[in-house]
């Protein structure tokens, strides 16, 4: 599957994979200067991503991120 690049800023909450951070998946939060702010699924510290390194998360990446969050929540690791 070809990587999805963006002509425009995606809507807030869109799940993206950041190849500049080992394909880490995060929710798009907004624009911060030349970077995009992403946040882990379910919360946590935001990080800045170069838009050139960001693509839509695949179905499997979205599922994996949400499952990891739900597992952490069930253990009481996150609220």
In whole angstroms, what is the distance from residue 22 CA to residue 71 CA? 21
Q: What is the pLDDT at residue 43?
A: 85
Q: What is the pLDDT at residue 69?
A: 87
What number of H helices and E strands is found in the chain? Answer: 1, 5
Whole-structure pTM value = 0.84
Cα-based distances in Å from 68 to 8, 16, 42, 50, 75 = 29, 16, 10, 24, 11
Confidence of residue 3 (pLDDT cuts 50, 70, 90): low
Domain boundaries, the chain: 15-73
The string of pLDDT tens digits covering residues 27-61 is: 999 999 999 999 999 888 999 999 999 999 999 99
């Amino acid at each position: 599957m070809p990587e999805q690049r963006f002509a425009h800023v995606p809507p807030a909450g869109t799940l993206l994979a950041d190849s500049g951070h080992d394909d880490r998946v995060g929710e798009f939060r907004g624009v911060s200067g030349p970077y995009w702010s992403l946040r882990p699924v379910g919360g946590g510290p935001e990080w800045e991503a170069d838009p050139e390194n960001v693509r839509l998360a695949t179905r499997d990446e979205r599922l994996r991120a949400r499952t990891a969050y739900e597992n952490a929540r069930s253990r009481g690791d996150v609220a």
